[in-house]
Amino acid sequence: MGCTVAQRADPYRLDNRLPHGRAYANRGAVTHLEIQGGRIRAQVKGSRPRPYQVEIGVPPMSHSHTLALVEALTRDPLIISRMLNRELDPAVLEQTQSLGIAVFPAHWKDLSMHCSCPDWAVPCKLRR
């Protein structure tokens, strides 16, 4: 699923934004990560002494879409068993597509983003 997520995020690529953000994550620069509802908060160690504060807001899925997806996924015991083992089966994305549910926002502007880093671009190199 990791490749699928990266492939789906590719349309959001601005120059080298996605690879740069991946490099931060891969080298362990994310020192704190908190996900609550549609909010993702992180502290990211950059070039300055204090970690940068990063926050991304993701639009919520509608209640009817949530119910439809849960109903579809519970029909497949293999998907449920993988989820219980903390694996995300690619069939989950296939189910969302067949139900017409958008898992990924269509544009960067669909996300609310804030970062305390000095990178002026939106999204900055840390918000990947």
Domain boundaries, the chain: 1-59+105-128, 60-104
- Beta-bridge partner residues of 36: 39
pLDDT digit string, tens, across residues 37-50: 889 999 999 888 99
* pLDDT value of residue 2: 45
Nearest to 34 by CA among 9, 54, 48: 54
Q: Between 123 and 111, whose confidence is greater?
A: 111
d(CA 12, CA 105): 10
d(CA 82, CA 13): 30
pTM beyond 0.85, yes or no: no
